[in-house]
Amino acid sequence: MNVAIIKYNAGNIRSVDNALQRIGIHATITNDLTALQQADKVIFPGVGEAATTFQHLQAHGLDTCIKELKQPVLGICLGMQLMCAHSEEGDTAGLSIFDVEVKRFISQVKSDKIPHIGWNQLHDLKGPLFKGIEEDAFVYFVHSFYVPCNTYSSANATYIHPFCAALQKDNFYATQFHPEKSGDIGERILKNFIEL
């Protein structure tokens, strides 16, 4: 199994690699376009700021490469947000794999802390990424921006209001939460992706 993790100017790449090693997968961390095209599975992780990150992808040809991949691709956190059409973070365009907008969380009451950090429950689960995962399973989030619930949603969650926790379209999968930080549930989700 040839698994590639996209190397770019984002955090959490090593934690994704470590999580894959825990389930017996040794991934290649690369920004080589040919290596990404030839991989069996591609993971697009991300912790960072949307606008500068998208500019980095464009400067290295990764924007076009990612959109044209035919094998299963998993975007995580910022990776998911950059797979969308537009983000309010830095007023930046995205890859437009998912025709949805990324919005900024806005506090409604004093107790609403932004970013949304910590464990939260998933609901409305569907699709192969969540095989064997029960409704209301807890996963770990860290984000100040969110994707509204939409027709591509394969899982939702609620913080301040309902939002999309995972997306799926064709060979593209994405999670707003961090499976690499989500314990046994996260490992199961990563295994489900590897087994697609």
Full DSSP string of 135-154: TT-EEEEEESEEBPP-TTEE
Number of independent structural domains in the chain: 1
Is 49 marked active-site?
no
What are the angstrom distances between the C-alpha of 70 and each of 99, 103, 112? 18, 28, 40
* CATH number of the domain encompassing residue 29: 3.40.50.880
Q: Does residue 112 carry a pLDDT above 90?
A: yes
Q: State residue 189's pLDDT score.
A: 98
Residue with tokens 């995962």: 133
Is 178 marked active-site?
yes
Mean pLDDT of 85-101: 98
Percent of the chain beyond pLDDT 90? Answer: 96
**Which member of 116, 164, 180, 187 is catalytic?**
180
Give the span between the Cα atoms of 196 and 179, in whole angstroms: 16
Q: State residue 3's pLDDT score.
A: 98
Q: Does residue 11 carry a pLDDT above 90?
A: no
Give the domain extent around 39. Answer: 3-194
**Which member of 77, 84, 149, 164 is catalytic?**
77
User: pTM of this prediction?
Assistant: 0.97
Is 84 marked active-site?
no
Q: State residue 53's pLDDT score.
A: 94
Per-residue exposure over 157-193, b if at least 16 CB sit within 10 Å of its own CB, e if not: bebbeebbbbbbeeebbbbbbbbbbbeebbbbbbbbb
What values do phi and psi take at 89, rounded to 5? -75, 105
The DSSP secondary-structure symbol of 134 reads P
**Which member of 116, 143, 164, 178 is catalytic?**
178
